[in-house]
Structure 1
C-alpha cells in the first residue's frame, strides 16, 4: 500500500506530519515524502510543541482543538493526527486532493 500524506476515514482527515519545533513562525510547509511539513515556534519540551501545533492546526483547519487527536508522535517529529470534520483544507492538501480526483 502506498503511503500518503493524508487519508479520509469517514469525515475524519488522517494526516501524517513531519514537525519542526522552535521555528521562526508557525507554518504549513510542503509535502516531503509521505508527510506534510509543519513548523511551530514552540520549543520541544514535554510535548509543548505538539500541543502548540494542535492549536495552530485547529485554526488552519477550522476546527476546535478537541477535534484533533494525536494518534502517535506527541514527543517525536513524526506524527499522525486525526482531524474530525475539518471545515477548511490548507492549500497544499486541497491541491493534492484536486490532483488525486483528476487522475
Structure 2
C-alpha cells in the first residue's frame, strides 16, 4: 500500500488537501488538534481525494505531530 507524506495545518479557514512541488501533501484542516478531531478530518480529506473509503485510510505515524505518514489503498 502506498504511503504519502502529509503536513497538517489545523485551525485553518478552509478544509483542503493539496500536493506540493516536492511530492508531499499539505492538509489544511478546519478542526483543532484536540481529541483526534484534526486526524479524523484528515482521513476524510484523504479518502475523498483518492476515492476510497475512510476505513481504508490509516495514519501510520505522526498522529500527534504536524508531519504524518498516511497509508492509502492501491
Counterpart secondary structure, 1:29: strand
- Highest Rg: 1 or 2? 1
| Normalised TM-score (structure 2) | 0.87
Contact 2:17 2:45 in 1 (8 A): no
Alignment of 1:9-88 (within 5 A): 12-31=1-20, 33=22, 35-85=24-74
Residues 34, 61 of structure 1: CA spacing in aligned structure 2 closer, same or farther, 3 A cutoff? closer
Q: What does the per-residue CA deviation read over 1:43-92, in whole Å, with 9 as the maximum and x for residues that have no partner?
A: 1102210111101211111000111111011111010000012xxxxxxx
Deviation at 1:27, TM superposition (A): 0.9
User: After the TM superposition, which parts of structure 1 deviate over 2 Å for at least 4 consecutive aligned residues?
Assistant: 32-35
Q: Structure 2: where are the runs of 5+ without partners?
A: none
Q: Structure 1: where are the runs of 5+ without partners?
A: 1-11, 86-103
